[in-house]
Amino acid sequence: MKEDGSKGNEHVHTDFREKMTYGEYLKLDPLLSSQHRLSDHHDEMLFIIIHQVSELWMKLILHELQASVLSIRKGEMQEAFKMLSRVSTIQTQIIHAWDVLSTLTPAEYIQFRDKLGQASGFQSYQYRMVEFALGYKTPHVIKIYEKDRELHEELKQAYEAPSLYDAAIEKLVEAGFPINPSLTNRDYTEIYQADPSVEQAWAEVYKNTDRYWNLYQLAEKLVDIEDSLQQWRFRHMKTVERIIGHKTGTGGSSGVGYLKKVLDHRFFPELWDVRTKI
Rounded-to-integer distance, Cα 154 and Cα 169, Å: 25
Q: Is residue 165 marked as binding?
A: no
Q: Is residue 236 marked as binding?
A: yes
Q: Is residue 140 marked as binding?
A: no
Q: Is residue 145 marked as binding?
A: no
DSSP string computed for 189-223: TSPP---HHHHHHHHHHHH-TTTTHHHHHHHHHHH
Q: Is residue 127 marked as binding?
A: no
Distances (CA, A) of 205 to 100, 173, 262, 270: 40, 12, 29, 12
Q: Are 80 and 217 in contact (CB under 8 A)?
A: no
Sequence-distant (6+) residues with CB within 8 A of 149 are none
Rounded-to-integer distance, Cα 212 and Cα 66, Å: 24
Number of H helices, E strands in the chain: 13, 0
Q: Is residue 136 marked as binding?
A: no
Q: What are phi and psi of 174, to 5 degrees?
A: -60, -30
Q: Is residue 113 marked as binding?
A: yes
Q: Are 58 and 127 in contact (CB under 8 A)?
A: yes
Q: Is residue 109 marked as binding?
A: yes
Q: Is residue 94 marked as binding?
A: no
Rounded-to-integer distance, Cα 278 and Cα 264, Å: 23
Q: What are phi and psi of 45, to 5 degrees?
A: -60, -45
| Strand spans (E) along 103-233 | none
The binding site for substrate consists of 47-51, 109, 113, 250
Q: Residues within the annotated binding site for heme?
A: 236
Going by the annotation, the residues of the binding site are 47-51, 109, 113, 236, 250
